[in-house]
Structure 1
Amino acid sequence: MPEIRRLPESLVNRIAAGEVVERPAAALKELVENAIDSGARRIAVQLVDGGLARIEVTDDGCGMSPAEMALSLERHATSKLPDEAIEMVATLGFRGEALPSIASVARFTLESRPQGGEQGWRRVVDHGALVEDGPAALPPGTRVRVEQLFHKVPARRKFLRTARSEYAACKDVVHRLAMARPDVGFTLDHGDRRILSLQPGESVATRVAGIIARELANNGVAIELERPTAAGPMRLTGIAGLPTYNRGVADHQYLFVNGRPVKDRLLTGAVRGAYSDMLARDRHAVLALFLTLPPEEVDVNVHPAKTEVRFRDGQAVRGFIVSGLRQALATGDRRSAQSPDVAAMGRWQSEPLAEPSPALRSMFEGRDWSPPSTGHLASPRPEWRGAQGETLAVPMGRAEQAEELSPQAAEYPLGIARGQVANTYIVAEAADGLVLVDQHAAHERLVLERLRAAGGEDAVKRSQALLLPDVVEMEETACDRLEDAADKLAALGLVIERFGPGAMLVRAVPQALGKSNPEALLRDIDDDLAKHGEALLLGEKLDLVLATMACHGSVRAGRTLSVAEMNALLREMERTPRSGQCNHGRPTWVKLSMGDVEKLFGRH
């Protein structure tokens, strides 16, 4: 048997670097987190070639003395754990591995001057070897420079991506940390270009909208919720985009736990569940959520880069996020996030009148356009008289006298119905503009909410006993998970029991799922159990069933509606939660303001 020996310190640091610093963005994350933990009010980040050539982070934090600088470059040395209670950590960095790990695979320059100190100090480590240690001139704070990352580790460097890809990852890191701390100012420079400039002291909504998209401020709802727990309050804040304001990828979902940016499957699953009946499967919500809970209720030390967390009660956290998001959206989702498309609006233009064709000119030449004599009864069918005396009927359009807006019309955000276009879109006049409503999309949402309000969910959850129980063969571990959740599944209408080591017996299913495949249903639920630890997917499946029922029971496109029916639809939309979008995340209505209408006619 080979002899067991201790690894050299340089090799230990390189192994640690493989866990903590796999690319420039990871090194940048550790440096910016240290700057935040130092109490900095302003942090400046400079990148060259996406961080491949140089990363520089400058802050105005507390700074370090020469002795503290030397200690910070030793493994597992940190100022962020005052005692051994690692579960009570409240800072972003605490493992004490980042600086020595980075210094072992790059040329690392650390310069710092304590607040109130008269002189700064510089310490340079080149791929693990100390090459400079002496005084330096700089203002109070700390400046860290990382150059030639993995220059002497070619096996690692060849796995790095292009400068453009590495820059995108670095930019995402700065965005997430800047969102987490709106009280801190950030600047980001890439080469000679200023990419980002954020002032300290901004509100969360302003900071988030400034980073994600300016229009999110008008197309999102603020979230401010709190729930008591045995260990302390659990709070959820942030901003969530309306379902109609969505993206094709989930890259615009920013999640934070106790101020720490995370990419956690439980949290992303909770977001997906909250928007489940408001977004199509290939669309994703845009949001930034900040979850705050007692430190002992979350383990942030499960991943070297601290991007993943583990909750003591994951089901409670998921339920809090799902219910919190739905509650927030119910207060603002009667709005539609979709303003008229810019390209579509560009097609509304004043077309120049074309010169009439010779055939058209000959048709109208010599016509008598004078009004009929007042001494005769007006003809019920106006006529054109040609030069030869022939009579042609005027093309007629059917119209009704427009009614004056009633005094209560100002109280109707969606206005009064004026007509229907293509038997699909309702045209309404509101006090402040023109409203177009997709009748099928709107009624589909109304029917779904009506089913829920009438106890539709309870009706769906009622069990339907199977004439012959189904035996579903599964892996033993899957059967164990389902057996543990059997009581909760029974409350939802799915009655199952263990049938040997590797099989489950399905005795009843929810009534609305009576025609579904019990085996596929159990396997889907087990997948969700394996991912989240609780039976969650069945409830989401019931929502999908209700959504399908609503779609089939709604007013279809192509159906002619009376004015009374159109107004009734508008009034119900104004009363119904989530009426701003259909069950697939598309808008149910758009509004063209009177100012935009006047611009179309050059009256502004």
Structure 2
Amino acid sequence: MSIRRLPEHLVNRIAAGEVVERPASALKELVENAIDAGATRIAVSLAGGGIDRIEVADDGCGMAADEIALALERHATSKLQGDEIDQVGTLGFRGEALPSIASVAHVTIESRTRGQDGWSRTIDNGRLAGEGPAALPPGTRVSVADLFAKVPARRKFLRSVRSEYAACLDVVKRLAMARPDIAFSLDHEGRRVLSVAAGEDRPDRVAALTDRDLAANSIAVDYVRGNARLGGVAGLPTFNRGIADHQYLFVNGRPVKDRLLIGAVRGAYQDLLARDRHPVLALFIDVPAEEVDVNVHPAKTEVRFKDPAGIRGLIVGGLRHALDEAGHRSAQRPSAAALGNWQSETDLHRYSPDLLRHSRESGNPASFFPGGGAGQGSWTPAFAGVTRVQDRSQDFAPQARAEAAVEPVPQAQSFPLGVARGQVAATYIVAEAEDGLVIVDQHAAHERLVLERMRRAMANGGVARQALLLPEVVELDEPACDRLEARLDELAELGLELERFGPRAMLVRATPAMLGAGDIKGLVTDLADDLAAFDSALGLKEKLDHVAATMACHGSVRAGRLLSVAEMNALLREMEVTPHSGQCNHGRPTWVKLAHGDIEKLFGRK
């Protein structure tokens, strides 16, 4: 078979297969062209999810008639000055987008430079369909209609109108996020879907395009390592999503979906989030142009760094530094559903008059609610060890404090998390702060505190251990014992001293002192499971973090344990000075706040 040169229209269609996968691909190229043209306002209009029509209008520099014709030829570009392809300062330079799109759709380009007349050129699936003068303000307007209408093999692989529209919206959001100095608008089927003004701050632009609550539940990121800089906003670990569709990553202003960067984000949040939850963030990486190759992917959605390990360290270090600065913060907006579960005064009507009368006559407030009393005519205070007042009338009086006051009550204004006022269900600490009511999950909070103590101890030479009077034997299967035996030295650094005891058992000689006795068998079993899940996928430091998190969970204060007021306040004070104490090791919030305004709404004061 002889070799021949392919005709130009077929070459364009082959190139279109690389550049134009779906309407969102064409839209991305057109909006990037508008940005590179120096536009300050970009308007996008779609019909049929972009399948039927895409229109992008900008107020950029515009093109003359001969430049429009040249722009529709392959490998013609205004974005690469000289021959240095590693010094790209624009969003693209390949020069394939317009001719590739025009080879599989009906494309009309209208453009006008300032001080000149406008011109229009129409290409229908690779063939010139007409050209002539056009009336429009300075700038460019590109219309793409009937994408893949004459390429049925490609069109049948497009998804539903809803899916294609969602992909187009995501493209515009990412580009608008990268350039807060440009105004963007997006209309679909005549309905305004997105509109952002020029000149917004980056955090405001990100919040406007993702979630308005992000502004109150995020931290700013600004971190420099070498000649690379990381900026943007990162959501608190408790402000998360079930899928990773709210993670926006940019390299030198270019939106990317790079596996290296996504993996680095996952590593930074690894012990702050549950495994099936994902953070909300927008990160902007700025590196010298020669340090990154933006042309490893036809659609320029992936990049290649000269120093990938350094970039990963930049992201992990920058996010960790920012999250450390967040201290004990957590996502704190109570949901409308949660507020709606509070009982109002009218709910009392559900109980019979006889039950109300019995409650008053017996002096037993607990017997008022079903299941509230320990038995017929009996009631046991929650804190039985508290010194009782001798006056019989006080035996069943509501106890507003967890124990008798022996010192003046501390002032709530002095502490961000307030001062303890009591304990609910032997699980939640109720504290009064200056600006509202704070409820703390004692197990989740203490779990995080123990983990951070272990980390500090590891950094200072190792975790103190406590020898067991009688070593405990834990039976496991042989592979689990092998995994633990291979990590004996690392576990010893964490204060857990193990020894192989036959083929299917481990001998525990010492445990971390800060954990106490606890459930030793459950601890060792969970550690073996963690090593099975992560041993091959994570580095040594990350493995130790997972092991430490498992140990902290077993050594924390359990739900159901009664705490004294002093213990509660000590827990609150340590939370205020401990990094990441706003969420437990699994990403759940450790505390929530009911602001004064929310409480007033419950009582109809607002």
Q: TM-score, normalised by structure 2?
A: 0.81
Instruction: Work out the CA distance in 1 between the residues paired with 2:409 and 2:357.
Output: 48
C-alpha contact 1:248 1:284 (8 A) present in aligned 2? yes
Question: How far does the alpha carbon of each residue in 1:53-110 deviate from its partner, in whole angstroms, 9 at most, with x for none?
Answer: 0000000000000111111000000011111111110100200000000000000100
1:415 aligns with 2:421: no
**Which residue identity does 1:111 align to in structure 2?**
E
| Residue 205 of structure 1, CA deviation | 0.4
Q: Secondary structure at the match of 1:354?
A: helix
Counterpart for residue 386 of structure 1 = none
Counterpart for residue 543 of structure 2 = 541
Counterpart for residue 265 of structure 2 = 271
Q: Secondary structure at the match of 1:251?
A: coil
Q: Secondary structure at the match of 1:336?
A: coil
Question: How far does the alpha carbon of each residue in 1:436-479 deviate from its partner, in whole angstroms, 9 at most, with x for none?
Answer: 0000000000001011112268648xxxxxxxxxxx9xxxxxxx
Question: How far does the alpha carbon of each residue in 1:177-233 deviate from its partner, in whole angstroms, 9 at most, with x for none?
Answer: 0000000000000011000111111110010000000000000001112222xxxx2
C-alpha contact 2:327 2:576 (8 A) present in aligned 1? no
| Residue 541 of structure 1, CA deviation | 1.4
**Which residue identity does 2:285 align to in structure 1?**
L
C-alpha contact 2:241 2:277 (8 A) present in aligned 1? yes
Instruction: Work out the CA distance in 2 between the residues paired with 1:330 and 1:262.
Output: 27
Specify which of 298, 306, 323 is matched with residue 317 of structure 2. 323
Q: Structure 1's 274 and 364: CA in aligned 2 closer, same or farther, altered over 3 A? A: closer
Specify which of 345, 349, 353 is matched with residue 354 of structure 1. 349
Q: Structure 1's 326 and 11: CA in aligned 2 closer, same or farther, altered over 3 A? A: same
Counterpart for residue 336 of structure 1 = 330
| Residue 538 of structure 1, CA deviation | 2.8
1:455 aligns with 2:458: yes
**Which residue identity does 1:317 align to in structure 2?**
I
Instruction: Work out the CA distance in 2 between the residues paired with 1:436 and 1:356.
Output: 28
Q: Secondary structure at the match of 1:325?
A: helix
Aligned 1:141-160 pairs, distance under 5 A: 141-160=139-158
| Residue 248 of structure 1, CA deviation | 0.1
Q: Secondary structure at the match of 2:345?
A: coil
Counterpart for residue 197 of structure 2 = 199
Aligned 1:495-534 pairs, distance under 5 A: none
Counterpart for residue 564 of structure 2 = 562
Specify which of 115, 127, 135 is matched with residue 125 of structure 2. 127
Counterpart for residue 384 of structure 2 = none
Aligned 1:160-559 pairs, distance under 5 A: 160-228=158-226, 233-352=227-346, 353-354=348-349, 357=352, 359=354, 380-382=391-393, 396-398=397-399, 400=401, 409-455=412-458, 459=462, 537-559=539-561
**Which residue identity does 2:70 align to in structure 1?**
L
C-alpha contact 2:249 2:257 (8 A) present in aligned 1? yes
Instruction: Work out the CA distance in 2 between the residues paired with 1:406 and 1:190.
Output: 60
Counterpart for residue 46 of structure 2 = 47
Measured on the aligned residues, the alpha-carbon RMSD in Å equals: 3.1
C-alpha contact 1:457 1:542 (8 A) present in aligned 2? no
Instruction: Work out the CA distance in 1 between the residues paired with 2:71 and 2:336.
Output: 54
1:28 aligns with 2:27: yes
Q: TM-score, normalised by structure 1?
A: 0.81
Instruction: Work out the CA distance in 2 between the residues paired with 1:195 and 1:366.
Output: 62
Instruction: Work out the CA distance in 2 between the residues paired with 1:521 and 1:395.
Output: 52
Counterpart for residue 576 of structure 2 = 574
Unpaired segments of 5 or more residues in structure 2? 363-388, 464-478, 480-488, 494-510, 513-522
Instruction: Work out the CA distance in 2 between the residues paired with 1:574 and 1:302.
Output: 46
Instruction: Work out the CA distance in 2 between the residues paired with 1:422 and 1:315.
Output: 48
C-alpha contact 2:222 2:232 (8 A) present in aligned 1? yes
Aligned length: 525
Instruction: Work out the CA distance in 1 between the residues paired with 2:359 and 2:304.
Output: 81
Instruction: Work out the CA distance in 2 between the residues paired with 1:265 and 1:318.
Output: 11
| Residue 148 of structure 1, CA deviation | 0.8
**Which residue identity does 1:350 align to in structure 2?**
S
| Residue 405 of structure 1, CA deviation | 7.2
| Residue 408 of structure 1, CA deviation | 5.5
Instruction: Work out the CA distance in 2 between the residues paired with 1:523 and 1:569.
Output: 32
Unpaired segments of 5 or more residues in structure 1? 368-377, 384-393, 461-471, 473-488, 494-510, 529-535
